[in-house]
Amino acid sequence: MSARLNRVRLRLRDLAAGAAFGSLVISWQLPSVLLLLAAAGFVLALFDRRPFGDRHLVGGVFLLLAGALCFGMVWKGPVDLVVGACCFATLLTLQRMLSAPGPAVDAQVNLASLLMVAGGGALSGDLLYAPMLALYAVFSILAMGLGVVSATVAPGTTFPLRRVLLPLSVGAGLAMVLGLTFFILFPRLSWNMAGGRVSTGLGPVTTGFSDQVRLGGSGSIKSNPRVVARVHLSPDPGDEALNRYWIGRTYDTFDGVRWTAQRTPVETEGQIRLSHGGDRLIHQEIELLPAYGARTALALEAPSLFGGAVANTHKGRRRTRMQRLENGEIRFEREAPGYDYHAYSLPADVTREVPALTTGDLDRARSLPADLDPRIPALAQRLLAGEQDPLRAAERLARHLSTRFRYSMELPGEHPDALSHFLFERQEGHCEHFATALTVLLRTQGIPARLATGFFGGERLGDDYILRAGDAHAWTQVLVPGRGWVSVDATPPAFRSAQPEPFLTWLVDRYEALEERWRNSVVDYDIRDQWAFLSGMLSDRERHDVLAGEVVEARPRRALGMGLGAFFGVLLLGWILERRVRRPRSDPATRFHHRLRRTVQRDPTIGAGLARGVPIEELARRLRQTDHPAATPLDDAVRRYLEARFGSRPLGAREASQLLQRLRSALGTAARSS
Amino acid sequence: MSSPAVSAPSPAFGQRLWARLRRPDWPRRLKVTGTGRTYLMVTLGVGIGALNTGNNLLYLLLGLLLGVIVLSGLLSERVLRGLHVERVGADALHAREPGTFRWRLSRERGHAFAIEVREVHAELTGRATAAILGPGRSHVLRGQVTAPRRGPLVLEAVDVSTTWPFGLFAKSRRFPIPGEVLVLPARIRVRGEVPRAHQGLAGEDGRARFQDGEGDLAGLRELADGEDARRIHWLKSASSQKLVRAERDREERQTVELVLETGPSRAALDRRCEELAAQARTLMARGIEVGLTVGPVRLRPSIGPAHLRRLLTALARAGFSTPPVTREVA
Has domain B26-184 been given CATH number 2.60.40.10?
Answer: yes
Which of A169, A182, A583 to mutate against chain B (most B CBs within 10 Å)? A182
Instruction: Check CB contact of A164 with chain B, cutoff 8 Å.
Output: yes
Stretch A644-660: mean pLDDT: 86
Q: Provide the 3-class DSSP secondary structure of residue B104.
A: strand
List the single best residue of B60, B81, B100 to mutate versus A (max A Cβ within 10 A). B60
pLDDT tens column, A391-435 = 999 999 999 998 989 888 777 677 778 888 888 888 888 888 899
pLDDT band at A546 (very low <50, low <70, confident <90, very high): very low
HEC string of B31-84?
EECHHHHHHHHHHHHHHHHHHHHCCHHHHHHHHHHHHHHHHHHHHHHHHHCCEE
Provide the chain A residues 90-119 that lie in CB contact (below 8 A) with chain B. Answer: 107, 110-111, 114-115, 117-118
Q: Choose among B52, B70, B131: nearest Cβ to A152.
A: B131
Quick check: A22 contacting B, CB < 8 Å? no
Looking at the complex, does the CB of residue B103 fall below 8 Å from at least one CB of chain A? no
B38 neighbourhood in chain A, CB within 8 Å = 107, 111
- The answer, for A521 touching chain B at a CB cutoff of 8 Å, is no
Mean pLDDT of A257-277: 84
Nearest to A163 among B132, B136, B167 (CB): B132
B3 touches chain A (CB under 8 A): no
Query: How many other C-beta atoms lie within 10 A of the C-beta of residue B27?
Result: 11
Give A422's DSSP letter.
Answer: I
What is the chain B residue with the closest CA to A194?
B53
The model's confidence at residue A583, banded by pLDDT at 50, 70 and 90, is low
Interface of B with A in 135-154 (CB under 8 A): 135-136
Please write the tens of the pLDDT for every residue from A65-75. Answer: 988 988 888 88
Percent of all residues in chain A with a pLDDT value above 70, rounded to a whole number: 87
What pLDDT does residue A352 have? 66
Provide Rg for chain A, Cα atoms.
Answer: 37
A311 touches chain B (CB under 8 A): no
pLDDT recorded at residue A74: 85
pLDDT at B208: 41
Tell me the mean pLDDT in the region B314-319: 90
Mean per-residue pLDDT for A606-627?
Answer: 83
Please state the rounded mean pLDDT for residues A191-195. Answer: 49
Taking residues A591-600, what's their average pLDDT? 88
Domain ranges of chain B: 26-184, 204-248, 254-317
In this prediction, residue A327 has a pLDDT band, given cuts at 50, 70 and 90, of confident
Interchain CB contacts (distance < 8 Å): A and B: 174
Looking at residue A624, its pLDDT comes to: 86
Shortest Cα distance, chain B CAs vs residue A81, angstroms: 14
Sign for the pseudo-dihedral over CA of A314, A317, A323, A324: positive
pLDDT digits 0-9 by tens, B43-76: 999 998 888 888 888 899 999 999 999 999 988 9
More confident residue, A662 or A495: A662
A480, A357 in Cβ contact below 8 A?
Answer: no
- From CA A25, how far away is CA A596, in angstroms rounded? 60
Residue A201 pLDDT exceeds 60 = no
| pLDDT at residue B26 tops 70 | no
Judged by a CB distance cut-off of 8 A, whether residue A274 touches chain B is: no
Report chain B residues whose CB lies below 8 A from the CB of A187: none
Nearest CB partner across the interface for A171, out of B56, B75, B163: B75
pLDDT tens string A92-108: 999 999 999 888 888 88
Q: What DSSP designation does B111 have?
A: -
Dist CA A17 CA A14 (whole Å): 5
Cα distance from B131 to chain A (closest Cα, Å)? 5
CB contact under 8 Å between A176 and B67, yes or no, is yes
Residue of A nearest to B133 (CA): A163
Decide if pLDDT at B94 tops 90. Answer: yes
B164/A154 touch (CB, cutoff 8 Å), yes or no = no
DSSP per-residue letters across A189-235: -S--SSS------SSS------S-EE------GGG---EEEEEEEES
**pLDDT tens column, B95-127:** 999 999 999 999 888 889 999 999 998 889 999
CB contact set of A295 (below 8 Å; sequence gap of 6+): A331, A332, A335
- Facing residue for B167 by CB, picked from A147, A157, A177: A147
Give the residue from chain B lying closest to A581, CA to CA. B110
Q: Is B68 an interface residue toward A (CB < 8 Å)?
A: yes
Q: Residue B210: left (phi > 0), alpha (psi -120 to 50), or beta?
A: left
Q: What is the pLDDT of residue A307?
A: 92
Q: Does any CB of chain B come closer than 8 Å to the CB of residue A537?
A: no
pLDDT at site A217:
57
Q: Which helix (H) or strand (E) holds B88?
A: strand B83-89
Tens of pLDDT, residues A49-63: 888 888 888 888 998
Q: Chain B: residue nearest A185 by CA?
A: B63
Indicate if the pLDDT at residue B19 is higher than 70.
Answer: no
Q: State whether B129 and A152 contact (CB < 8 Å).
A: yes
Average pLDDT, chain A: 83
Over residues A127-158, the pLDDT tens digits come to: 889 999 999 999 999 999 999 988 888 777 77
List of chain A residues whose C-beta atoms are within 8 Å of the C-beta of residue B131: 149-150, 152-154, 157, 159
**Residues of B whose CB is below 8 A from A164:** 111, 113, 132
What is the rounded average pLDDT of the residues A581-607?
79
pLDDT beyond 50 at B2 = no
Higher pLDDT, B249 or B33: B33
- Burial group, residue A372, by CB count within 10 angstroms (0-12, 13-18, 19+): middle
Q: Are A167 and B58 in contact (CB under 8 A)?
A: no
Query: Which of A152, A186, A195 is facing B114, going by the closest CB pair?
Result: A152
Closest Cα in chain A to B74:
A171
**Is B231 a residue whose pLDDT tops 80?**
yes
- Inform me whether the pLDDT recorded for A484 exceeds 70: yes
How distant, in Å, are the alpha carbons of B7, B24, B300 from that of B15? 18, 16, 62
Q: Which of B71, B75, B78 to mutate to test the interface with A (most CBs of A within 10 A)?
A: B71
Grade residue A195 by pLDDT with cuts at 50, 70 and 90: very low
What DSSP character marks residue A246?
A: E
A227-254: pLDDT as tens digits:
888 899 988 888 888 888 999 988 988 8
Of A111, A196, A523, the CB nearest to B42: A111
